[in-house]
Amino acid sequence: MTERILILGAAGRLGKAAAEGFRDAGWEVVSLVRPGAAARAAQGTLVAEVNLRDHAAVKAAAQGAQVVFNALNPTLLEWQGQVPLFTNIAIIAAQSAGATLMFPGNVYNFGEGMPETLDETTPMRPTTRKGILRADAEEQMRDATLEGLPRVIILRAGDFFGSGSGAWFDRVITRNLAQRRVIYPGPLDVAHPWAYVPDLVVTLVRLAAIRDALGAFTTLGFPGYTLTGQQLTRELGKVVQRGLRMDAMPWLMLRLLAPIMPTFRDLRDMSYLWKVPHRIDGTALHETIGDIPQTPIDLAIAKSLVELGYIL
């Protein structure tokens, strides 16, 4: 029997990529999008335009689903209200269908004092507003498994690139690539984790397929690539076959404007992610699914730059 997945936020970067990945793997995919966003959903999926505050409509869209994937992405200035709302909506959808809830975790939860290697045992000690919200969301999902939610699977990853735009790789680092310039947010010798979205999606599909073998609340780390700024810039240069000029991030200006511009405040608060070396350990994920999908880094970067229109 064909299995069904409901993808919340299916018009966004990760949501659409996940919809395409599950569709191609033979799943029946319901793409839940906001009213008016149907045109941005993946072709070959069942599209449901739903107001997220309409719980009855959300539950109706979830009926028959074995898995619910929460790809809802809060807008930059609405984290305080949207993260708890989106988490609650995802729990409602999964509980109503008796489905497994899947969620893309990040490293915000660990805070500025995080160790260099992050795994499933690393304590969560968030030091920023966003980190606290994400840690609370994961705790909310854990609590829900004690109150009728069948299962939660969190796949934790680093910064995204590939399958569109909307993150540091495309909005900052490569935005001036046409002028042979790269803007890097931190010291060039600090390790930073990256997740190529197509590889992440393949991993989500494989985890969904074996969900019944997992515990009620499972957190796994997706290692992706761990690269210093020097390594990332070198790979970019190899792909575009040209020398690249390195520009620094204007952190001083952002700090000065942070008190009056909330966007810059959040960027300032999260700047430690580029100063504190860290990597995501994938041992537990490897033990769970076997070989972890990993596109060669040069090919992943090349495909991403093609999508962004920087190379043909």
Q: SS3 string of 221-290? A: ECCCEEECHHHHHHHHHHHHCCCCEEEECCHHHHHHHCCCCHHHHHHHHCHHHHCCCCEECCHHHHHHHC
> Would you list the domain boundaries of the chain?
4-160+196-223+279-290
The band of 265, judged by pLDDT with boundaries at 50, 70 and 90, is: confident
- Are the C-beta atoms of 175 and 310 separated by less than 8 Å? no
Quick check: 262 pLDDT over 80? Answer: no
**Predicted confidence (pLDDT) per residue in 278-311, tens digit:** 999 999 999 999 999 999 999 999 999 999 998 7
Q: What is the mean pLDDT of residues 184-204?
A: 97
Q: What is the mean pLDDT of residues 243-263?
A: 79
Quick check: 227 pLDDT over 90? Answer: yes
Pairwise CA distance, residues 238 & 241, whole Å = 5
- Are the C-beta atoms of 108 and 123 separated by less than 8 Å? no
What's the pLDDT score for residue 304? 97
Pairwise CA distance, residues 152 & 238, whole Å = 40
Pairwise CA distance, residues 171 & 267, whole Å = 13
**pLDDT, averaged across the chain:** 95
Quick check: 118 pLDDT over 90? Answer: yes
For residue 304, count other CB atoms closer than 10 A to its CB.
Answer: 25
What's the pLDDT score for residue 249? 83
Pairwise CA distance, residues 142 & 105, whole Å = 13
The band of 267, judged by pLDDT with boundaries at 50, 70 and 90, is: confident
User: pTM of the entire structure?
Assistant: 0.96
Q: Which fold has domain 4-160+196-223+279-290?
A: Rossmann fold (3.40.50)
The band of 259, judged by pLDDT with boundaries at 50, 70 and 90, is: confident
Dihedral sign from CA coordinates of 163, 17, 81, 123: negative
The residues, any chain, with a CB within 8 Å of residue 234's CB and separated by 6 or more, are: none
The band of 79, judged by pLDDT with boundaries at 50, 70 and 90, is: confident
Q: What is the mean pLDDT of residues 263-274?
A: 85
> 43 or 270, which is more confident?
43
Q: What is the mean pLDDT of residues 108-125?
A: 97
Find the range with the poorest average confidence among 26-30, 70-74, 89-93, 244-248: 244-248
What's the pLDDT score for residue 312? 57
Identify the residue whose tokens are 């191609």. 24
Closest CA to 304 of 168, 176, 193, 162: 162
Pairwise CA distance, residues 155 & 70, whole Å = 11
